[in-house]
Every structure is written in structure tokens, then in C-alpha cells.
Amino acid sequence: MEIDQIVSLTKAANGDDPIVGLGAAAEVRREMERLEAVLVRRARVQGHTWASIATVLGISKQAVHKKYGGRSLFREQD
């Protein structure tokens, strides 16, 4: 997803129609989850620890490892 699309979705989320806004917010959330997963994978490949990643994300080391740890971290993303 391009940054322009995220900006458009954010504008839609702030519009008058709450249903359109909810759909846009859900799409932005999905994209941010995907981006976070990619960045966590890149950080791990570069040798960053789970603790350093967790600190940046503002969650526990256990939480970030549970969400992104294991072999699934290195699977191809669709």
C-alpha cells in the first residue's frame, strides 16, 4: 500500500459517514499490522533483540515474541 492510499483512508475515516470511516480505519489497521510485521522481521534479521523491539513497540518482550516469534516470522507474506 502506498502512503497516498493511507492518507486517503485516514481522510475517509474522518469523514461524515461513520460506516465508511470504520471501513477505512479497519483497512489502515490491517496495513499497519502488516508493516509492523515486516519491520519486526527486518529488525530480527539485522540482529536486534526481542527486548529492543519490545521497548520500541511499548510492549513486553514476551508479547512481541508471542506475536512475531517462531518460524512464521520468516515465512513469505502474501
Confidence of residue 45 (pLDDT cuts 50, 70, 90): very high
What's the confidence (pLDDT) of residue 58? 97
What's the confidence (pLDDT) of residue 71? 57
Please state the domain count of the chain. 1
Confidence of residue 10 (pLDDT cuts 50, 70, 90): confident
How far apart are alpha carbons 18 and 42 in whole angstroms?
36
Classify 58 as helix, strand or coil: coil
Q: Which helix (H) or strand (E) holds 62?
A: helix 61-68
Domain hosting 53: range is: 3-74
Q: Which helix (H) or strand (E) holds 73?
A: none
What's the confidence (pLDDT) of residue 38? 93
